[in-house]
A and B are shown apart, each in its own frame.
Chain A
Amino acid sequence: MRRGRSFWGSFWLLLGVLYFTVPLLATAEFSLRAGPGRYTFSSYLTILEDPQFRASFQLSLGLALETIVLTLALLVPTAYWVHLRLPRLRPVVDFLSILPFVVPPIVLVVGLLAVYRGAPEFFIGTPQVLVAGYVILTMPYVYRSLDVGLRAVDIRTLTEAAQSLGANWRQVLLWVILPNIRAAVLSGGLLTLTIVMGEFTMANVMLFYTFPVYMNYIGETHATPAAALTLISFTITWAAMLGILFLERQLGGRQVQIGGAR
């Protein structure tokens, strides 16, 4: 009985692991192939030495960071205010925050273009116009993440405690609320990063050469380097995630250590 259960447990675990690793290994094998039975790193070099790789990657990373800053600056105070003062509006705001899911990116682009038609040329010409779209696109994820974070702490009591001690709104937000929803803010930021690093439709339609557009171009034109690029971007994403996890450990570790010294 016990044996049987542990057998099936292992079986499903193995199946799960295979489901994720087989495509990765296959991609890796393909990216290294240089002919029947011969392997080389040359396609990786091709990608890493391609100036367009660096340019598009930097562009997308920059846009992602701008999106993160803007989204958090907009949503942290909003989500906080809704929790604190408009708890009865929470279902409504929840619904509003998922609206971008319903609107396909292509519609969003057309809408944005219509809005921008009257905007000054220098603004339309910069890739920063994409940030406006990305903020909308990532809003549901970030809002949800913040919502969960805010639910986990007694926002009202902490706010009032800080206020009675003389804190103004800025101090309440920066010294009390933000540190207590740090994990939610970080995960919201990470989600934004991965979404922006992978968003193709808007950038393509608006004719900006971002990382996903570059990936798409490589994918259509160079088969082996495309596989290499896939693995590179995969590695970057994982590095970002591990980085965040590590950061969390470091920040949280301080408390654990003091707990041990008790």
Chain B
Amino acid sequence: MAYLEIVGIRKTFGEVVALDEVTLSIERGEFFTLLGPSGCGKTTLLRIVAGFETPDRGSVQLEGEEITEVPPNRRNMGMVFQAYSLFPNMTAEENVEFGLRVRGWPAAERARRVAELFDLIGLSAARKRYPFQLSGGEQQRVALARALAIEPKVLLLDEPLSALDAKIRVQLREEIRAIQKRLGITTLYVTHDQEEAMAISDRVAVLSHGRIEQIGPPAEIYENPLTPFVASFVGTMNRLEGTVQDGREGLVNYRGIQLRVNAARGRDPGTRVFVFIRPEVVEVRLVGEGDGLKGRIFSQSFMGPVTRLRIALDQGGELIADIPSARAKALTMGMEVIATFPPDAAGILNI
């Protein structure tokens, strides 16, 4: 049995089914992320784990003990909220100390632990400041220290970075991950940002409409999405709708063009499928240099190391290709091109 078990959770708000048969197991020391678009039920699941909501059905077990009905103040779980959760009437230090005061720790021990935590978050100079005197990033760090002060069994974070600007967001997520690894604390993290989820998690569960679509390590989810939703939500993905033509050779017919897709092997001819292709595996050549999907470049955006081309296909539909910027110089808007992809780099799912 895993450290934290979430079994068959269902939760409705009136007509809205926020969570439907959600089952997860999280190992001790794991950094586990719930990823999904806004409204898919991430916060609701986190709040059920924290004890702020009671599920209609299902149970939550921690270290083999049933905790579904345990009130939040007796669960010993540290929680970091989206924003504005620091107590405005207390200094940063008093905020961090709060959980220890509640637990009746003597002043000297409290002071020692608080000093340790400010060291950990690198904010010792700001200990005496009030929340309104801290930047958004500093506030979230103090909130993290406050949650960690009580040595929680599980650390819960609900989109803790979403109110910060991009640069701080990236920096702080690395810090959170580093601290989590150092303390070996079991962490349940919620975000709608797939890049963030990929960057810091041991495992990710992708949610959509209250259901789990896929659970796995970031690389597996990125490289091998099991549902059309995961394929389109995680990263940028091209999706071509076609028909299996030859299950032995792995040929798919896309509007009259034959595509070689290894993943199509073993499927019955005539099956309607989606072919998924990541933009970074697409190769673009000038017309006349071999076969492939023919089209015209209609948009070109520089993204640093790569340049993103959008190609309007002659057969209809479009294809996104990320190619090294150095090579993109030879390709300009309106140019006729041929796009190809390696047969083993495309995924396939039945419709």
Contacts and interface: CB of A to CB of B under 8 A. Distances in A.
Interface of A: 153-154, 157-158, 160-168, 171, 175-176, 179-180, 182, 255, 258-259, 262
Most interface-central of B98, B143, B146, B149 (chain A CB within 10 A): B98
B227 to A, nearest CB: 33
Contacts of A164: 50, 72-73, 75, 77-79, 147, 156
Given A166-B103, A180-B89, A160 B79 contact: yes
Contacts of B89: 176, 179-180, 182
Most interface-central of A158, A168, A171 (chain B CB within 10 A): A158
A166 B87 contact: no
B98 A160 contact: no
Where chain A touches its partner, the secondary structure class is helix
Interface string B66-86: 000001111111110100111
Most interface-central of B73, B74, B91, B98 (chain A CB within 10 A): B73
A157 B85 CA distance: 6
Given A157-B84, A160-B72, A165 B130 contact: no
B52 interface: yes
A165 B148 CA distance: 10
Interface string B301-319: 0000000000000000000
29 contacts: A157-B84, A158-B85, A161-B81, A161-B85, A161-B86, A161-B87, A161-B146, A162-B98, A163-B52, A163-B71, A164-B72, A164-B73, A164-B77, A164-B156, A165-B73, A165-B78, A165-B98, A165-B99, A165-B102, A166-B74, A166-B103, A167-B98, A171-B102, A175-B98, A175-B101, A180-B89, A182-B89, A258-B130, A262-B133
Given A153-B88, A180-B89, A262-B133, A168 B73 contact: yes
B85 A165 contact: no
Interface residues of B, number: 34
A212 B71 CA distance: 50
B183 to A, nearest CB: 17
Interface in B49-71: 50, 52, 71
Most interface-central of A154, A165, A167 (chain B CB within 10 A): A165
A262 B129 contact: yes
B80 to A, nearest CB: 9
Contacts, number: 76
B121 to A, nearest CB: 17
Contacts of A168: 73
Contacts of A153: 88
Contact of B52 (A160, A175, A179, A258): A160
A117 B246 CA distance: 96
Contact of B133 (A154, A163, A165, A258): A258
Nearest to B72: A163
Contacts of A154: 84-85
B150 interface: yes
Contacts of A180: 87-89
Contacts of A165: 73, 78, 98-99, 102, 146-147, 149-150
A74 B129 CA distance: 34
Interface in B88-102: 88-89, 91, 98-99, 101-102
Nearest to A161: B85
B128 interface: yes
B81 A160 contact: yes
B17 to A, nearest CB: 21
B76 A166 contact: yes
B87 A176 contact: yes
B133 A162 contact: no
A176 B102 CA distance: 12
Closest 3 CB pairs of A and B: A165-B99, A179-B89, A164-B79
A45 B174 CA distance: 75
Contacts of B150: 165-166
B81 to A, nearest CB: 5
Contacts of A179: 89
Nearest to B76: A166
Contacts of B50: 160, 164
Nearest to A254: B130
A168 B103 CA distance: 11
Given A160-B79, A163-B73, A165-B98, 10 more contacts: A157-B84, A158-B85, A161-B86, A161-B143, A164-B79, A166-B73, A166-B99, A166-B150, A258-B130, A259-B133
B128 A166 contact: no
Contacts of A157: 81, 84-85
B88 A167 contact: no
Given A161-B79, A262-B133, A167 B102 contact: yes
A258 B129 contact: yes
B130 A255 contact: yes
Contacts of B73: 163-168
Interface string B135-177: 0000000010011011000001000000000000000000000
